[in-house]
Structure 1
């Protein structure tokens, strides 16, 4: 089953929201425009927030690629991680 939120952007426009984990393992919604965003306890909560903020426009939301760390101030590449990216709910 495919995800509604692409791992990478396949269109020319950059998605407004990026969803992924930060260096602590919390789920983050980063807004490219810097207007909203936050830390979330679960992936589902982060995706729900981004979906609502984008008026359910799937092209406006993307998941961060594997191996990338999403911070509220942007996306940062990380080296090999030894801990899980998921924080239990």
Structure 2
């Protein structure tokens, strides 16, 4: 019975933690803006921060909790995405 109470408390506590943002917005090594999707479904390379934020907002139905900036000094890349034609937004 003690184990069951421990599991219930732990799952109740974890439900209070906020879910991580789905999209991370940051820069790559060349200074271009990148949007990475934690689910690996969409993302891209953008000319400026406004375009990157606009894309992320559209993808998550304008839910600000689903978008975060990469921490200072973190460099993003698109290595996990398949190569495509030059589709710079």
- Same fold, judged at TM 0.5 (above): yes
Question: What runs of 5+ residues in structure 2 fail to find an aligned partner?
Answer: 1-16, 81-89
Following TM superposition, the consecutive aligned residue runs of length 4 or more in structure 1 with deviations greater than 4 angstroms are none
Which is greater in Rg? 2
1:12 CA drift (Å): 2.5
Report the equivalent of 1:25.
31
In 1, Cα distance between equivalents of 2:79 and 2:25 = 13
Partner of 1:44: 50
User: What is the root-mean-square deviation of aligned Cα atoms in Å?
Assistant: 1.4
The structure whose residues are more often strand, as a share, is 1
Q: Which has the higher contact order (CA 8 A, sep 6+)?
A: 1
TM-score normalized with structure 2 length: 0.67
Q: Which structure: greater helix fraction?
A: 2
Q: Residue 72 of structure 1: CA displacement?
A: 2.2
Q: TM-score, normalised by structure 1?
A: 0.67
Count, aligned residues: 64
Structure 1 segments unaligned to the other structure (5+ residues): 1-10, 75-89
The reply on whether 1:63 has 2:83 as its aligned counterpart is no
Structure 2 residue matching 1:59: 3-state secondary structure: helix
